[in-house]
Structure formats: structure tokens, C-alpha cells
Amino acid sequence: MNALRLYVAVISGAAAVGWGVWYWIRSRRMTPEARERERRNRLSQVGRICDGTVLDVKEISANGHGATQLIIYRYAVAGVAYEAAQDITHLRQIVDIHSCKLGLPTSVRYDPHNPGNSIVISEAWTGLRG
């Protein structure tokens, strides 16, 4: 009977530790907004700069969740042209999309290892001109 109690205690302890580890890992998971902020910060620190052009700005409403603001731009790296859109909804205090002029040049920061990963604005840097 003592061996049975020991097994139950060991299994219960292991289950409690497993649940604690699972909960800790789950609580440390980054939100999509935090991941995007980290991406912008990394690119504003280590990204290379090239010239680009603002093509369009859009404000899209989705299912009553408020408007999402996008800036659409084009740039070229090593002869390859890229078109990208950046969600600037969380950067409203830095830039007003209604004052952005279409067709004007901009600076683009891109990841040298993945040129498709780029930004035109972050909390610490802006490539918008004029």
C-alpha cells in the first residue's frame, strides 16, 4: 500500500510540474502586436536603407474592429523590385496617413538577409519624406 501512495504522489507531482511549465511557456508567448513591434525595432536598428516610392495609403475597416491603416510602397534591392504594405495603425501618433503624398520618394529599411522584410516607419525611425 505504501508503494501505491508513493506512485500517486510522484505522478501528481509530475503532473503539477508539467502543468506549471506549460502555463509558464504559454504566458510568455508574444502577441502578434508585440512580434510586429519587435520586427520594426530590429529593422530600424540593423536594416539597410534604400530608396522607395509611396504608392498608396489605405484605411480599411474590418468587422467593426476599427480601421486598419496601411501604407503601400515599392522599392528595389539588387535589381529585384518589391511591393509591400506596412500596417501603421499603431503608429498613428507618429504619422497621419491623410497627409502622406502619393508618388513621393521614401526611404525603406530592409533586412539584408531577406529583402522582402521591410518597413518605412517605426517608433524610432521614419523614411517618409516631405
Domain layout of the chain by residue ranges: 1-30, 32-119
CA distance 24 to 120: 35
Which pLDDT belongs to residue 43?
94
Weakest mean pLDDT among 71-75, 78-82, 88-92: 88-92
pLDDT of 9 > 90? The answer is: no
DSSP sequence for 33-82 = HHHHHHHHHHHHHH-EEEEEEEEEEEEEE-TTS-EEEEEEEEEEETTEEE
Third-level CATH fold of 32-119: OB fold (Dihydrolipoamide Acetyltransferase, E2P) (2.40.50)
